[in-house]
Structure 1
C-alpha cells in the first residue's frame, strides 16, 4: 500500500473539477426531486392516486421501478432513485478505470511504480477516489431530503452511493482482466446495462427473482421512505467487499500493463488500407452497442406511449411539464417528443465520445506513427468524424424505427422527430472537435457540456427553470416533433453552427503539434 496517500491526492487533484460536477448533478438531481414532485402532487390523495397508477403500469415499472410508498419522499425514491444509482455507477466506473487501466495504458503508472509505490496502491487510490465521490453523493441526497424523513433520506443516499461503489469495484475487476481502458469501460458498462435490464424485466413482469439479481434492484429494494430495509445495504456491502478482494487478488498476479485477457494476434499482413478503415475498426464495436441500445430504447419508450395519459391523469401540473418538455398539447405527442428529445441528448454523448476517440489515440502515442508517413491530419481525423456524425444519425434512425414499431405510429413523423435532433447533436460534436483541435488539454470539457445539456433537458422542465436557462442547450431551440409544424430556422442555424465549429477545430488541428 506504499504511496496510496500520494496517489489518492493526485487523483483527487486531477479530478478536482469533474468529481464535484458528478456529485452535484447526481445528488442534486435526487435531492431536488421533492420540490418538483410537491408541485405535481400537492395532496396525499393525489400522491396515493399517482402511486397506484404508476404501479399498475408495467412500462412505468420497467423504467422507474415500483412505488413502495405514496409519501413525497417515497415518490422521490421511485422517480429519481434508479436513475441516481445509474448515474453514480457510470461516474464511478469512469473514475476507477481512469486511475487504473488508463494510467497503465499511457505508461504513467510504470513511471510511478519505479519509485516507492506499492503494487496495490494505484487500485486503492482509485477506489478511495470513487468512495469520496459516492460519499459526497450520499451526503447531498441525505441533506437535501432530510426534511422528508431522516431515516428515508439516509437510506436513499446510502443506496445510491452504495450502488456507485458496487460498479466502482466492478470496474476495478474489469481493469485487471482487460488491457485497454476502452475495453475495461465497455465491459463494466455492459455489466451495468445487464443489471438495468434485469431490474427492468423483473419489475415489469413482477419477477422479484430477476430484480434481486441486479445491484440496481438492490438499491430500490432498500425501500427508502417506505419501511426501510436496512439489511439490503449489507448485500451491497458484501458485493463491494467481494469484488474488491477479487481485484486485489488479480492485481497481485499480473505485471503492470499486462492483463488476463490476452489480445489476439493480428493477421500476418495488414488489411486496413485507409485511415477510414482504421477508424471503423476502432469504433465499430462502440457503434454497434449504441445502435442496439437505441433500438431497444425506442421499442421500450414506444410501448410506454399509450400509458402516458394514465401516468398524468387529471394532474394539470404534470400535463404542463410534459407539454413543456414535448411542446405539444396532444399528450401522447408530447410524450413521444419528450422521449425523442431524451434520446437525442443521449446520442450527443455517443457523438462526443466518438469525436474524442482520435484524441485518445493521439494522447496515447498511437497517432504519431500514422501521421509520420504520408497520411495527412485532416484525412486521419475525417475517418473518425464520419463515424461520429454518421453514427449519431444511424442510432437516431434506429431509435425512431423502434418507437414507430412499438407504438404503431406512422414511421415518417416519428423518424422526422428523431432526425430533427441531429443539428443539436452535431453542434455538441462540433464543439468537441473545436476543443480537441484547438485546445486539446481542454478536450474532456466537451463531456461536461454534453452532461449539462442532458441535465437541463432531463430535469430542467420539472424544476421549473426559466426558458432562458433551458435555451442554453441547443436542444432547447429545436421544434418539438411530432405534432407541430416544422420550424426550419433553428435547425438550419444549428447545422451551420455545427459546421463552423467543426471547421474551426480542424483548422486548429492542422496548426498545432500532434502531441498538443
Structure 2
C-alpha cells in the first residue's frame, strides 16, 4: 500500500463537507479587501485629500499596534490599511478551522479510527487536511490579489498583497497541524493554535511600535504575521518573505508528521492532567463553565487589550482632520444619521460595532461545543444524569453572559483610557459601557442562530461561522458602497443603535432580544426531539 493511500478520497470527502463553509469564507474575505479598497478610492480620488488622515495614522502608535504600519504614503496603501493585518488574521483563522476540523476533530469523534479500518494509510488524514487548508489559503490569496487589481490598485502591489496573506495563512496551516498532534482534544488544539495567533499578534505589535533604534524592533521577525507584513504591499513590494513563510510551513508540516509517528491514534503527545479523585462540580452548568475556562480567560485578556488600544487611539483623534470627507466616511461606517456629532463618538461607534462582531465568535464557539460533545460521544454519558434542555441551556446561558461581560469590559477599559484624555473618567465610562452593551442583543441573535443549527440541522453547524462572516461583510461594505438599506438589515448588527454617536433607542434592542429568544427556543426544541449519536 502507498504511504499516502486514500489521500485523494479524503480530500474529496473533506471538500464536500466544507462545500459551503470554505467558498463563503473565501468570497467574504475577497469582498472585504476589494470592497474596502474600492470604497476608499471612491471617497479619496486623489492622494492630497487622503494624506490628511494618512499622516496621523502613521504617527499614532495605537493604530500601528492594531492595524500594522502603513507600507507607504500612497492611496493604494491607504486603501488596504485595515485589510492587510486584520484580513490576514481571518485567513489564519480559516486555515485553523479547516485543518483542525479534519484532523483532531475527526480523531476525537472516532470517525478517523473507522476510516482507518479501510484502505487508508495513517498519514493520509493529516495530508488531506494540510492539502485542503493550503488550497484554501492559496485560493483566498490569489482571488484577493486579482480582485484588488480589478478595482484599480497597482498590479505588482496587488500580487504582493496576495503573497502577504499567503505567508500568514500557510504558517497557520502548519501550526494547527502540529497543535493537533500535541493534544488529544479539539479544545487543546484550539488553545495552542489560537494562543499562538494571539502571541504572534502581540509580538508583531511590540515590534512595530518600537523605535527604529530599539532592539525590540526585532520582535516582529518572531511573528508569522510580521513576516507577512514585511512583504510591504503597495510599498516596497518585497517577495522574499514568501520563502521565509514557505520554509516555516515545510518545517512545521514535517514536524507534524514526525509527531504523528510518535503517538497513538486518539492520543496526544502532551499528557492530559488526571482529574481529582472526587468531583467538585455539582451541576452541568459548572461543568460547562469549567470546560470553557481557558477560552473565557483569553477573551477577558483580549477585551482589556483591545479596549485600551481603542481608547488610546481615540485620545489621539484630535490630530486627525475634521474634514467633511473624513467625517462622512466614519459616519457611514458607524451608522450615524448625521447632524452635529463629535469625531470621537463616531469613532467609538464604529469600533464597538466591529468588536461586537468579533465577540459574537466567542458565543458561537461555546454553543457549537454542543455538537462537538455529541460527535465525541461524551454527550451520551452526560445525558444519563441531566436533561437535554438543561445541558443545552447551560451552554446558551454561558454564551449569553460571557459575551455581555466581554463587551462591558471593552467599554469599561476604553472609557477609562479615553477619560484620561478628557479628564472625566466617570463620564467616558458612563457613555461607553452602555454603548458597548447596546451591541449585545445583536450578538445574542448570532448565538441563537448557532443553537438553531445545532438543534435542527447539526450537520450544518459550521454555517454559523459563515453567517458571522457574512454579517461582518455587510457591516463593512454596505455603508461605504452605498448599497440598499435592506442589505444592511439582513444583519442583526444593522439594527443596533449608533451609540454613543447618537442617542440610544430601546425598541430595536427589545426586538433583537425577542428574535434571539424565539430562534433559541426553536433550536432547543429541535435538540430535544432529534436523535443524539450513541
Instruction: Return the TM-score normalized by structure 1.
Output: 0.95
Q: 2:358 aligns with which of 327, 335, 346?
A: 346
Change (3 A) 1:483 1:228: closer
Q: 1:390 aligns with which of 401, 410, 415?
A: 401
Aligned partners of 2:100 and 2:186 also within 8 Å = yes
Partners of 1:7 and 1:148 lie apart in 2 by 39
Unaligned runs of 5+ in 2: 420-424
Please point out which of 302, 308, 325 is paired with 1:299: 308
Q: Which of 467, 479, 499 is 1:481 aligned to?
A: 499
Give the corresponding residue for 1:261: 270
Q: 2:517: which partner in 1?
A: 499
Equivalent in the alignment of 2:478: 460
Counterpart in the other structure of 2:450 = 432
Tell me, in whole angstroms, the C-alpha distance in 2 between the residues paired with 1:350 and 1:50. Answer: 33
1:380 and 2:391 matched: yes
Counterpart-to-counterpart distance in 2, 1:110 and 1:270? 30
Q: Distance in 1 between matches of 2:102 and 2:464?
A: 20
Q: 1:189 aligns with which of 182, 187, 194?
A: 194
| Separation of aligned partners in 2, 1:484 and 1:47 | 26
Partner of residue 416, structure 2: 405
- Match in the other structure for 1:322: 330
Pairing 1:18-417 to 2, within 5 Å after superposition: 18-146=21-149, 147-206=152-211, 207-311=216-320, 313-326=321-334, 327=336, 329-373=341-385, 375-408=386-419, 409=425, 410=427, 411-417=429-435
Q: Are the counterparts in 2 of residues 279 and 383 from structure 1 also a CA contact under 8 Å?
A: yes
Q: Which moved more, 1:254-263 or 1:435-444?
A: 435-444
The SS at the match of 2:131 is helix
Does the Cα contact within 8 Å between 2:311 and 2:416 map onto a contact in 1? Answer: yes
Give the Cα–Cα distance (whole angstroms) in 2 for the partners of residues 38 and 106 of structure 1: 48
Q: Which runs of 5+ in 1 are unaligned?
A: none
Indicate the larger mover: 320-329 or 353-362: 320-329
Superposed CA deviations along residues 2-43 of structure 1, whole A, max 9, x for unmatched, are: 221111111111111111112111222223333111123211
CA 1:21–1:315 in structure 2 vs 1: closer, same or farther (change >3 Å)? farther
SS at match of 2:410: helix
Q: Calculate the TM-score normalised by the size of structure 2.
A: 0.92
| Post-superposition offset of 1:113 | 1.4
Q: Distance in 2 between matches of 1:130 and 1:31?
A: 22
Give the alignment's Cα RMSD to 1 decimal. Answer: 1.8
CA positional deviation for 1:271 = 2.0
Aligned-partner Cα distance in 2 for 1:460–1:219 = 28
Deviation of 1:419 after TM superposition, in Å, equals 1.0
Provide, for residues 235-273 of structure 1, a one-character-per-residue CA deviation record: whole Å limited to 9, x for no partner.
111111111111111112222111111111111222222
Q: How far does the alpha carbon of each residue in 1:112-143 deviate from its partner, in whole angstroms, 9 at most, with x for none?
A: 11222222211111111011111111211221
Tell which deviates more after alignment, 498-507 or 70-79: 70-79
Query: Does the 8 Å CA contact 1:322/1:335 hold for their aligned counterparts?
Result: yes
Question: In 2, are the aligned partners of 1:94 and 1:185 still within 8 Å (CA)?
Answer: no
Moved more, 206-215 or 387-396: 206-215
Deviation, 1:443, is 2.6
Distance across 2 between alignment mates of 1:315 and 1:70 = 19
The Cα shift of 1:440 comes to 2.2
Q: CA deviation at 1:416?
A: 0.6
Residues 44 and 385 (structure 1), Cα distance of their counterparts in 2 relative to 1, 3 Å cut: closer
Counterpart CA distance in 2 for 1:484 and 1:31 is: 30
1:418-474 deviation line (CA, Å, top 9, x unaligned)? 111111111121222222223322332222222211222234333333322112111
Could you tell me how far 1:314 is from its partner in structure 2?
4.4
Distance 2:481 2:303 in 1: 27
Measured in 1, the distance between the counterparts of 2:70 and 2:355 equals 25
- Is the 2:67–2:85 Cα contact (8 Å) retained in structure 1? yes
Aligned residues of 2:364 and 2:447 also touching (Cα < 8 A): yes
Contact 2:367 2:395 in 1 (8 A): yes
Structure 1 residues 303 and 142: CA distance shift in structure 2, 3 A: same
Contact 1:47 1:70 in 2 (8 A): no
How far apart are the structure 1 equivalents of 2:370 and 2:82?
38
Deviation at 1:309, TM superposition (A): 4.5
8 Å Cα contact 2:203-2:219 kept in structure 1: yes
Partner of 1:443: 461
Contact 1:40 1:315 in 2 (8 A): no
Residue 184 of structure 1: how far off its partner (Å): 0.4
Contact in 1 for aligned 2:163/2:231 (Cα 8 Å): no
Q: Residue 53 of structure 2 contacts residue 326 of structure 2 at CA under 8 Å; is this kept in 1?
A: no
Deviations 1:94-114 (A, max 9, x none): 111111111110111111112
Distance 1:336 1:309 in 2: 14
- Structure 2 residue matching 1:70: 3-state secondary structure: coil
More off after superposition, 503-512 vs 161-170: 503-512
Q: CA deviation at 1:315?
A: 4.3
| Greater Cα offset, 384-393 or 464-473 | 464-473
